[in-house]
Each structure stands twice: as C-alpha cells, then as structure tokens.
C-alpha cells in the first residue's frame, strides 16, 4: 500500500475536522427535537409527501408540537401542500425560523428555488452541501416531532439525510401496485444497512381501482409492523388544507398510524 505524503495526511485531517464541526452544529440546531421521523420510499409518486403532511397535521391536531422538514431536492412540494406563501424569518443569530401553518412548522428546499417550475439539476456534492446548510441554519425551537419528507430512491439525497441526521425511525410508504412494493422493499433494505429503525409500513392510495394488500405483504415478508391503509378518497382533491383536517375518517387513519408507531417512542 502506498503511504500518504504529509500534505495529503493534513488535508484528510482537516476534512475530518470540518465534518465533525458540521455534525456538531447540526446536532446543536436539532437539540430541542425529541423525535425525528423519516417518511420514505424507494419509489416516487406513492404519496410520500401527502403522508408526511397529513401525519404532521394529525400530530399537531392532537396537541403535539410538530415540524416538517422537506429535503426532497428535485421536487420539494411541502410548501405548496401546506399552502405557505411567506419565507422563513431570521432570528438574532441569523438562523431561519420556519414558517408555520395548521400548527406545523415548515422548512423546505423549495425556499431556495427562485422559480418553482425550474428543475433542480445538482450533482452529489451540491446536494450534500445544500442539505447540510439547511440543517445547520434552521432554528426549530422545541418540538415533540420532526417529520422528515425524504427524496425517493436509494442514492445521494436520501443517503445524505440518513447519514447526517440521527433519525429515531422511518415510516415506509407503498401503494398497492407491484412495482411500488418492490421499491419499498429496496428502501427498507437501505434503512436496515444503515442500522436505523423501520417503524412500519403504510399503504397509501389503497382500495378502488388500485387494489390493496401490498403493505401487509411487505410487513409479513420482512417481519415489520403494518401501520395501516390510507384509503383513496375524493377529499384529497380539496387542496385548501391537509385532508386529515377535512375528513374525520382520514384523520382517524392517521391517528391510528400515530398510535401504532410514534406515541411510545
């Protein structure tokens, strides 16, 4: 094996120091948060953001202090889903104070887009830096739960979040279709490789023409908890507020998920 020269060794030590300091600042920024919960799936389009938003709204409706962190680099949709128009404010330390709606504090990559319609075309290092900068620069205050809406897939973006944040567990989202089930299993295997807890499986858009059953099948195959089905309903067409605040049946579905996965963490 070739030995590093002194300059290379010093550079490596300096990089390790920067990473340590960065992690320390992030931990300090999140110090007031009791539970950090990821909502994740290997496949896009399964309603991950819808689940994250309604889970947050249902928690706030039950009296918990809640925040939602949208770290989907390519398609950050939480701000639109929560109908937030204002930008974060700055505190005396130049940290961002998240905007709040429906009792939920919201921080999103969408705040860093000049134009909502523009595609974000970033490579790995830029994604890593953007996520870390947002984590260091946000003042969440005291929270019972921070719900983290992750990007889909098993590459740079979700990996950066999982390695940077000390998560208390993940809720994995699938839909009844076969391909969604396969990708959900891939995402579960990624979480397990990183030695983080999988709290259970949620089957979204269940019933009707989409069928049902993928969530229970995954839970049985991988020996995980099935947290419940979110039925597909017309109420989701009303985007004025999260559907869990519009329909008591939807609220009951999310409250059941909360009781099974989050209350006793």
| Cα–Cα separations (whole angstroms), residue 168 to 12, 69, 132, 210, 226 | 30, 15, 19, 31, 18
Question: Please, what is the Cα angle at 240 between 234 and 243, to 5 degrees?
Answer: 45
User: How many helices (H) does the chain have, and how many strands (E)?
Assistant: 8, 10
180-202 exposure pattern, b = at least 16 Cβ within 10 A, e = fewer: bbebbbebbebbeeeebebbbbb
The more confident residue out of 169 and 194 is: 169
pLDDT digits (tens, 9 = 90+) for 86-96: 888 999 988 99
Provide the greatest CA pair distance for the chain.
66
Q: Where are the domains of the chain?
A: 6-261
Task: Supply the pLDDT for residue 154.
Answer: 75
Q: Which carries the bigger pLDDT value, residue 227 or residue 73?
A: 227
Quote the pTM value: 0.89
What is the predicted pLDDT for the residue at 212? 95
> What per-residue confidence (pLDDT) applies to 82?
95
Whether 152 and 44 have beta carbons less than 8 Å apart is answered as yes
Residue pLDDT, tens place only, 48-92: 999 999 999 999 999 999 999 998 877 889 999 999 988 889 999
Q: Give the span between the Cα atoms of 139 and 31, in whole angstroms.
A: 10
Q: Which CATH class is domain 6-261?
A: alpha beta
Nearest to 175 by CA among 205, 217, 198, 152: 205
**Both tokens of residue 75?**
């398609």
Token duo for residue 23: 């992690």
Closest-CA residue to 230 (of 262, 261, 206) = 206
Cα four-point dihedral sign 103, 257, 32, 90: negative
């Amino acid at each position: 094996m070739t030995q590093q020269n002194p300059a290379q060794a010093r550079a490596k030590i300096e990089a390790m120091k920067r990473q340590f300091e960065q992690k320390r600042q992030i931990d300090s920024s999140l110090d007031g948060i009791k539970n950090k919960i990821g909502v994740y799936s290997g496949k896009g389009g399964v309603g991950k953001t819808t689940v994250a938003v309604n889970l947050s709204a249902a928690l706030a409706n039950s009296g918990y202090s809640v925040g939602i962190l949208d770290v989907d680099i390519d398609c950050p949709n939480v701000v639109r889903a929560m109908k937030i128009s204002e930008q974060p404010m700055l505190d005396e330390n130049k940290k961002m104070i998240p905007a709040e709606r429906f009792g939920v504090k919201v921080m999103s990559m969408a705040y860093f887009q000049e134009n909502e319609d523009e595609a974000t075309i970033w490579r790995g290092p830029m994604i890593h830096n953007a996520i870390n900068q947002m984590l260091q620069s946000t003042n969440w205050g005291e929270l019972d739960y921070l719900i983290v809406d992750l990007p889909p897939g098993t590459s740079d973006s979700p990996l950066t979040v999982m390695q940077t944040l000390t998560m208390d567990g993940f809720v994995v989202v699938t839909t009844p279709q076969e391909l969604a089930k396969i990708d959900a299993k891939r995402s579960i295997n990624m979480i397990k490789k990183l030695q983080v807890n999988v709290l259970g499986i949620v089957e979204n858009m269940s019933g009707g023409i989409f069928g049902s059953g993928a969530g229970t099948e995954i839970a049985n195959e991988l020996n995980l908890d099935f947290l419940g089905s979110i039925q597909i309903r017309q109420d989701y067409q009303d985007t004025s507020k999260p559907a869990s605040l519009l329909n008591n049946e939807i609220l009951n579905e999310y409250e059941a998920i909360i009781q099974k996965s989050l209350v006793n963490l």
